[in-house]
Amino acid sequence: MQLTVDTTWWTRYRNPNVNPDLSNFPLAPVIPGLMNGKFAAIPRTNDDLKNADHLKAIAFTAGFHFGTIEQGGTSVYPALAQRVTHPEVLRILLSIGPTEAMHFQTWHDKAGNILPVTDPFTGLTFPDLSTTTDELLQKNKIMPEPTPFLNVRFPRCSIVRPTQTLGAATAALNGFVKSNLFLGQSAAFFNYMQTLAAHADAARRGFGD
């Protein structure tokens, strides 16, 4: 498995001024290199086990990938819950969504334990997050910082973000595709998934977006 991992969620949850629901302000990834190529997240051959720094980079890539996936789930369940019409579907979303947040919190915490290392084969570099003075990167800030919510005029509060419902399912699918998680799948698979996402986004609960 080789992935491109978007780690902007790290700074999104630390930045007190940016809510993606209200702003298109660009966020910096905590591990920029993970967005500049495809990197192994599991050892593929025994050769991947021979170099310690290479193996660490694989493990750290997997750790941030887990965090990326779980932060997406933390957002998409409450986003979709605002659209569903059947009580049982709502129950499913409200039951699974909180577990995604629990997983995210765990992986968010674990990802901060990476050690400084550079993969000798790919050049991918992981920093020492325990020594940074940049508040947007510090590993101990794992709770969502208060941010604008609903309206920039309102007091800031600590929230899951984003939770905008418009296009939420399609955005989630596009995130998976962009990460190369579905690399090698057939055109029929992508067509089917896009149809499912479109149907989910078309659901209406009786009020506006």
Digit-coded pLDDT (tens) for 30-88: 999 999 999 999 999 999 999 999 999 999 999 999 999 999 999 999 999 998 888 99
CB 4 within 8 A of CB 183: no
Q: How confident is the model at residue 205 (pLDDT cuts 50, 70, 90)?
A: confident
SS3 at position 156: coil
First to last CA, the chain: 37
Predicted local distance difference test score (pLDDT) of residue 2: 86
What are the phi and psi torsion angles at 81 (to 5°)?
-60, -25
Q: What pTM, to 2 d.p., does this model score?
A: 0.89
Predicted local distance difference test score (pLDDT) of residue 8: 95
Predicted local distance difference test score (pLDDT) of residue 47: 95
Pseudo-torsion of CA 38, 70, 27, 184, nearest 10°? Answer: 30
What are the tens digits of pLDDT across the range 117-169? Answer: 999 999 999 999 999 999 999 999 999 999 999 999 999 999 999 999 999 99
CB 30 within 8 A of CB 7: yes
Helix (H) or strand (E) run with residue 203 in it? none
Answer yes or no: is pLDDT of 209 > 50: no
What are the phi and psi torsion angles at 144 (to 5°)?
-60, 120
- Give the amino acid at 79: A
56: Cβ–Cβ under 8 A, 6 or more apart, which residues? 115, 117, 126
Q: What is the Cα–Cα distance from 184 to 181, expressed in whole angstroms?
A: 9
Q: Average pLDDT in the 190-208 region?
A: 86
CB 11 within 8 A of CB 136: yes
Predicted local distance difference test score (pLDDT) of residue 25: 87
Answer yes or no: is pLDDT of 191 > 90: yes
